[in-house]
Amino acid sequence: MRGQPLRFCNPPKHSNVVRRVAYAVASMVVATCVITNQAAAQSIDLLRDTEIERWLHQNEDPILRAAGLDPATVRLYLVNDPTINAFAAQSPSATESEDIFVNAGLIMELKTPNQVIGVLAHETGHIAGGHIIRDADAMRKAMVPMLIGMVVGIAAAAAGGGEAGMSAMAMGEQAAMAQFLQFSRVQEATADQMGQRFLLATHQSGRGMVEVFERFANDIAMSAYYNQPFISDHPADRERIALLQREAEASPYKDVQDSPEAVHKFHLIQAKLAGFLSKPETVLNRYPLTDQSQEARYARAMAYFRKPDLQKALAEINSLVKEDPRNPYYWEVLGQIYVDMSQPEKGVAPYQKAVDLLPDAPLLRISLAAAQIATERPALSKPAVENLKMALNQENDNTFAWYEAAQAYSDSGNEPMANLSTAELDYNVGNFRDAAHFATLAEHRLPAGSPDWQRANDILSVASSHDRRRR
Q: Map 29-67 to HEC letters.
A: ECCCCECCHHHHHCCCCEECCHHHHHHHHHHHHHHHHHC
Mean pLDDT of the residues in the chain:
81
Q: What is the DSSP letter of 86?
A: E
Mean pLDDT of 348-355: 98
More confident residue, 22 or 346: 346
Q: 140 Cβ partners below 8 Å, 6+ apart?
A: none
pLDDT digits (tens, 9 = 90+) for 429-468: 999 999 999 999 999 999 999 999 999 999 999 988 886 7
CA distance 292 to 275: 15
pLDDT at 18 over 80: no
Cβ-based neighbour number of residue 321 at 10 Å: 16
For residue 330, what pLDDT is reported?
Answer: 98
pLDDT at position 269, please? 98
pLDDT for 132 equals: 62
Given a contact cutoff of 8 angstroms between Cβ atoms, the answer to whether 88 and 126 are in contact is yes
* Mean pLDDT in residue range 277-290: 96
Task: Point out which residues pair with 89 in neighbouring strands.
Answer: 99
Rounded CA-CA distance 53/42 in Å is: 20
Please give the Cα distance from 78 to 34 (Å, whole number): 11
How far apart, in whole angstroms, are the C-alpha atoms of residue 95 and residue 442? Answer: 28
Helix orientation angle between 362-374 and 381-394, rounded to the nearest 10 degrees: 160
Greater pLDDT, 250 or 147: 250
Kindly state the average pLDDT of the residues 117-144: 69
DSSP letters, 114-177, are: HHHHHHHHHHHHHHHTTHHHHHHHHHHHHHHHHHHHHHHHHHHHHTT-HHHHHHHHHHHHHHHH
Q: According to the model, what pLDDT value does residue 184 have?
A: 58
Q: What is the pLDDT of residues 376-423, one digit of tens each?
A: 999 999 999 999 999 999 999 999 999 999 999 999 999 999 999 999
d(CA 164, CA 170): 10
Rg (the chain; Cα; Å)? 25
Half-sphere exposure of 94 (CA within 13 A, CB side): 0
User: If we measure between CA atoms, which residue out of 59, 57, 32 comes closest to residue 46?
Assistant: 32
The rounded distance, in Å, linking the Cα atoms of 344 and 332 is 13
| Euclidean distance between CA atoms 55 and 321, whole angstroms | 20
Share of the chain above pLDDT 70, in %: 73
pLDDT of 160 strictly over 70: no
Closest CA to 203 of 63, 57, 61: 63
Total residues found in the chain within this entry: 471
Q: Given this model, what pLDDT does residue 391 score?
A: 97
Sign of the CA dihedral with 41 first, then 47, 49, and 53 last = negative
Residue 454 has a pLDDT of 96
pLDDT at 224 over 90: no
pTM beyond 0.95: no
**Per-residue pLDDT at 218:** 75
Which pLDDT does position 312 carry in this prediction? 97
